[in-house]
Amino acid sequence: MENNQDLKKIAGESAVNLVKNGMVVGLGTGSTVYWTIKKLGNLVKNGLEILGVPTSYQTEILAIECEIPLTTLTEHPDLDIAIDGADQVDSNLNAIKGGGAAHTREKVVACSAKKLVLVVTKEKVVPKLNHFVPLEVLPYARPLVEKQIKKLGGNPILRLGKSKYGPVITDNGNLVIDAHFGIIKEVKKLDNALSKCVGIVEHGIFTNADEVHIGSKDRVEIIRR
C-alpha cells in the first residue's frame, strides 16, 4: 500500500512543471501544496525567478522558510498561475476547499490567476461531490447564515478548534460553518445560492479549476478542462 505522503508529494511537485521564470504564482494552503512550495523553494535557490502570493499565514511562513520572494495582490493583481489543494474534486473539475479554513483567500487568489491548478491524491477524486462545504461567516451573522443553510437543505455545523477551546477563527477574523448537503447534484446551482446568502463572506465551492494533478501509485494523472 502506497504512503499517502508520497502521493501528496508527487502530485504537489508535478504542478511545479507549469511554473516558468518570471511568473507570479499564487501559493495555496494545505498538506499537498506544501510539497509544491518546498519544490519551488529548491528551484528558487537554483536560479528560478518568481514571486509568490500566499493564501494564508501558514503558507506565508512556509514560503519565507523556503526563501521564495513574496508579493501582494495590490502590487500584482494579475497572477500567472495559482496552485492549491482541495478536499474533494469531481470529474468536471468542480472542487470543495476550505478544510484548512483558508478558502476565502484561496478563492481570491484563484480568481486572480490566469490558470488554477489543483493538486490532490486519488481518494479526493469522486464522481459527485459529497463533502461538507466550508463557509467563512461574519460572527454577527451566524444565526442568519444557519437559517439560510437550513432553507437550502443543508445542516450547518460551527467548526470548533482542535487545539483550543472555542470556534475556529479564520485569518480574516471570521467563523467557519461547515454546511453538510450530502451528495451535491447541482454544483453550480448551490454555488450561486450560497453566493447570495447574506453573512457568508465566501464559500468553499470552486468551479474554475483548469487542471487537476492526481497523485496515484508511481504516476500523476492530469485532468484538464
Say which of 106, 146, 202, 211 is annotated catalytic: 106
- Matching residue, cell 498561475: 81
* Helix, strand, coil shares, percent, the chain, to 5: 30, 30, 40
Q: What's this model's pTM, rounded to 2 decimal places? A: 0.95
Please confirm, yes or no, whether 146 is among the known catalytic residues: no
Share of the chain above pLDDT 90, in %: 93
How many Å apart are CA 225 and CA 100, to the nearest integer? 25
Domain residue ranges of the chain, discontinuous segments joined by +: 4-125+207-224, 133-204
Q: Which helix (H) or strand (E) holds 4?
A: helix 4-14
89 pairs with which residues across the strands?
A: 95, 125
How many Å apart are CA 192 and CA 206, to the nearest integer? 11
* pLDDT tens sequence across 114-127: 999 999 999 999 99
Amino acid residing at 211: E
How many Å apart are CA 206 and CA 225, to the nearest integer? 13
> Are 214 and 11 in contact, with CB atoms under 8 Å apart?
yes
Mean pLDDT along residues 165-187: 97
Q: Which residues of 19-35 are buried (b: 16+ CB within 10 A; e: fewer)?
A: beeebbbbbbbbebbbb
* pLDDT tens sequence across 150-160: 999 999 999 99
- Matching residue, cell 508520497: 6
Instruction: Give one DSSP letter per residue of 101-112, joined into a string.
Output: S-HHHHHHHHHH
4-125+207-224 folds as Rossmann fold (3.40.50)
> Are 52 and 67 in contact, with CB atoms under 8 Å apart?
no
Query: What does R_g of the chain's alpha carbons equal in angstroms?
Result: 17
* pLDDT reading at 15 higher than 60: yes
Residue 152's pLDDT is what? 98
Residue 114 CA to chain centroid, in angstroms?
16
> Are 115 and 211 in contact, with CB atoms under 8 Å apart?
yes
Of 155, 205, 200, residue with least CA distance to 175: 200
* pLDDT reading at 2 higher than 80: no
Q: Would you tell me which CATH number, out of the four given (3.40.50.2300, 3.30.70.260, 3.40.50.300, 3.30.1440.10), belongs to the domain 133-204?
A: 3.30.70.260
